[in-house]
Amino acid sequence: MLARLATQRACLDFAAARIAGLPGPVLELGLGKGRTYDRIRRIMPDRDIFVFDLDTHCPPALKPPSDTLFLGDFRDTLRAAVDRLGNVAALVHADIGSEDQARDAVLARDIGPLIGPLVRQGGLVLSDRQLPLSGDGWERLPLPQDAARTAWPYFIWARLH
């Protein structure tokens, strides 16, 4: 757990610095207990944050405002987000992993193509699972040094165009 949290923190801090001059909201896929959502709020306080999950089970202080919350299956809510938000996200953080790696692989395969249309040029996607992002113009970036040291699998992609 410590390696996972250290990796997420290092990757989120890297992303915050990298997108500092890029407009656009952050999309948090997988609210869970709200830990990474809280981190994003703290390191990117001026950004809108849209959160996606099947339901909410985090402490009340970490629950996002209802107008920024997309509840339901990612496959449905990401499609709705394209219609509502468009191609504006500076960062997508997809924390979708579970103990069922076969299920995670199917989910990653299904949502990868749905994430791409939400990310603006210069934007980033962070994920704890390998995502098949659709279209050309994606570059996989190396993990920041602090994350690489933990040996916890994480992925960063940049949208070049």
3-state helix, strand, coil in the chain (%, to 5): 40, 20, 35
Yes or no: say if 85 and 50 are a contact pair by the CB < 8 Å rule: yes
pTM: predicted TM-score of the whole model, two decimal places? 0.94
- What confidence score (pLDDT) does residue 134 get? 66
Q: Confidence band (pLDDT; 50, 70, 90) for 135?
A: low
> pLDDT over 70 for what percent of the chain?
99
Nearest to 128 by CA among 11, 13, 16: 11
| Cα 115 off chain centre by | 9
Amino acid at 147: A
Give CA angle at 158 (131, 23), nearest 5°: 120
Mean pLDDT rounded to a whole number for the chain: 93
**Backbone angles phi and psi of 81, in degrees to 5:** -65, -35
How do residues 22-58 score in pLDDT, each as one tens digit?
999 999 999 999 999 999 999 999 999 999 999 999 9
Superfamily of domain 2-159: Vaccinia Virus protein VP39 (3.40.50.150)
